[in-house]
Amino acid sequence: MFPKNVEELLHDYRENALRHATEETVLWYYQLQDFARRRAVEFANLTQVVLLKHPELNMQTQYPVNPPGMAARSRQRSVSIESRLAAERGRAALVFLSRATCPYCEGQRAMLRHFRDRHGWQVLEIDLDRQPDMVARFGTDFTPTTLVIFRGTDQWMPVAVGVESLPRIEESVYRALRLLLGETSPGQFSLQEYQQGTVLDPKRSGGLGQ
């Protein structure tokens, strides 16, 4: 019996039990529900065996959700981001689009000061009211907007719209750098270097789709 057939039968048996409200009809419903529950348990058990035998399909290898695994994942992520930001600070910079009347710009300005002090990056602020030509160059008049640019090139990308926390800015800059450098595609935007080719990589070869 296919799962879809079981779902349809469960619905029909429940409706029948509610309609007739007899011991027999209620018993039929719970017997069918017991069958479905046992099949679900069997599937869950088989899943555990398969994922232990095939770690390339197991999310736990790259995205652990237990406390020690999460701590290790956080450390690995931080090292990856900080090393990339240090490597690119000589040729990349942040551009902060603002206005004097912008109510949220000061909050983002403070976060960017923290970013500058922590990573040694140049942060250039542009007031769009004073330099309206920048609206056409960067394709937005929304403030605050933060962009990452590569000096001496036409490569740039937004990394924050509105006020963002320092960790979010760091991660967004990291991701944008990798995308601009051709290391990832838009579909891989959230990946760290060490995650490429793993179960988290939508472009990973192998499996039924390859």
The answer for 192, left when phi > 0, alpha when psi is -120 to 50, beta otherwise, is beta
Predicted confidence (pLDDT) at residue 137 exceeds the cutoff of 60: yes
Provide mean pLDDT across the span 185-202: 90
Parse the chain into domains and list their residue ranges: 3-57, 84-193
Q: How far apart are CA 191 and CA 175, in angstroms?
A: 8
Question: pLDDT band at residue 78, thresholds of 50, 70 and 90?
Answer: very high
Provide mean pLDDT across the span 73-98: 95
pLDDT, tens digit, for every residue of 140-190? 999 999 999 999 999 999 999 999 999 999 999 999 999 999 999 999 999
Provide mean pLDDT across the span 123-131: 97
Query: Are residues 182 and 176 in contact, defined by beta-carbon separation less than 8 angstroms?
Result: no
Provide mean pLDDT across the span 99-105: 96
% of the chain surpassing 90 pLDDT = 74
Query: Are residues 206 and 65 in contact, defined by beta-carbon separation less than 8 angstroms?
Result: no
- The first and second tokens of residue 119, run together, are 């990573």
pLDDT of residue 159: 97
Instruction: Return mean pLDDT, the chain.
Output: 92
pLDDT of residue 207: 61
Provide mean pLDDT across the span 85-104: 96
The answer for 121, left when phi > 0, alpha when psi is -120 to 50, beta otherwise, is beta
Predicted confidence (pLDDT) at residue 206 exceeds the cutoff of 80: no
Predicted confidence (pLDDT) at residue 209 exceeds the cutoff of 70: no
pLDDT of residue 2: 75
Q: Which helix (H) or strand (E) holds 107?
A: helix 105-119
Predicted confidence (pLDDT) at residue 204 exceeds the cutoff of 90: no
Question: pLDDT band at residue 5, thresholds of 50, 70 and 90?
Answer: confident
Provide mean pLDDT across the span 89-113: 96
Instruction: Write down the CATH superfamily of domain 84-193.
Output: Glutaredoxin (3.40.30.10)
Provide mean pLDDT across the span 43-58: 93
